[in-house]
Amino acid sequence: MKTILVGGATGNIGSLLVPQLLEAPNVLVRALVRDAAKAKPLADNGAHLYTGAFDEPKSLNTAMHDADTVVLIAPPGPDCVKQNASLIAAAKRAGVRKIVRISAIKSAEDGRTENTRLHGQCDRLLQESGLTYVILRPNYFMQNIFLFLDSIVSDKQFAAGMGDGRLAMIDARDVAESACAAALSDQFDNQIFEISGPASISFHDVADALSDTTGQQINYIAISPDEVKAALLGYGFDEWTANLLREYSAAFGDGWGDLVTGDVELLTGHPPRSIRQFVSEVIGPALSQSGFAFGPPA
């Protein structure tokens, strides 16, 4: 029986990953969560919940006891390196064999954005830890389109700061499936994978997919990265996060995310989902639940 701990189990990736691991034979799945009530669906499906945080050594020691593998999904933030260092140290104390880490596109200590540089430091910490590792560096998440949902419902348009830039957006479902494969198999050990969607697309393509799925004309409005930051601050986002998205908007607008790889298929055995598949299967139902009127314009 292999024990796998998922850190960040209630997030976008973790909540998709845990059910997949629970379907694997001879695997005991643990979920490290901050809020046990929020994680109740995971427990109901068979996951063993451990309440704690990446920077709480006592809770990490308990959650990692006798674990073989840890899937590390740390949220972005200025404390990213500290949190990753804490978890890696706890894993070594507990005798964990392998860590599967969800990093970020093109992570490097001299990278384009602050988040890229922080993830680069975290990747290096893991590589130098002596533990077996798999590092996954996903491109821009298609799930970020949820940020535009209210605007799409109310105005049939959305604004982003990437201009005409093309990027190989990836569905978080493919990220979770890639992490599942890396956690269950040893064939990918001590490797780094830049995981992407099947094609490099712009937000004009996203608008086209939304229009075709809904039967309504959905427009993409290009704004500047500085306007992105100002809007996010107006919505109540903190300064660090707003600046992070300003930096990413500028980078993606320059084509920095134009990186298509075959790594999802290598890891999972199937090609990654397309933007049209994602919009049809995920965004379409969400719009329907929000009261959006599908069909041709009146």
Residue 55 has pLDDT above 90, yes or no: no
CA distance 209 to 194: 25
pLDDT tens, residue by residue, 237-264: 999 999 999 999 999 999 999 999 999 9
43 contacts 51 by C-beta, under 8 angstroms: no
Q: How far is CA 297 from the centre of its chain?
A: 34
171 contacts 143 by C-beta, under 8 angstroms: yes
**Residue 209: per-residue pLDDT:** 98
User: pLDDT-derived band of residue 222, with 50, 70 and 90 as boundaries?
Assistant: very high
User: pLDDT-derived band of residue 293, with 50, 70 and 90 as boundaries?
Assistant: confident
**Residue 297: per-residue pLDDT:** 60
What are the start-end ranges of the E strands in 140-188? 157-160
Q: How deeply is 11 buried, as exposed, middle or buried, from its count of CB atoms within 10 A (0-12, 13-18, 19+)?
A: middle
User: pLDDT-derived band of residue 291, with 50, 70 and 90 as boundaries?
Assistant: confident
Query: pLDDT averaged over the chain?
Result: 96
Assign domain 2-138 to a CATH class.
Answer: alpha beta
Assign domain 140-171+196-258+274-298 to a CATH class.
Answer: alpha beta
- How many CB atoms sit inside 10 A of residue 298's CB? 5
Residue 227 has pLDDT above 90, yes or no: yes
Question: What would the mean pLDDT of 149-164 be, rounded to a whole number?
Answer: 96
User: pLDDT-derived band of residue 286, with 50, 70 and 90 as boundaries?
Assistant: very high
CA distance 113 to 248: 7
What's the count of helices (H) and strands (E) in the chain, helices before strands? 13, 9
Residue 199 structure tokens:
């094609």
Question: What would the mean pLDDT of 139-166 be, rounded to a whole number?
Answer: 96
pLDDT tens, residue by residue, 102-139: 999 999 999 999 999 999 999 999 999 999 999 999 99
Domain boundaries, the chain: 2-138, 140-171+196-258+274-298
CA distance 18 to 74: 15
Question: What would the mean pLDDT of 192-212 be, rounded to a whole number?
Answer: 98
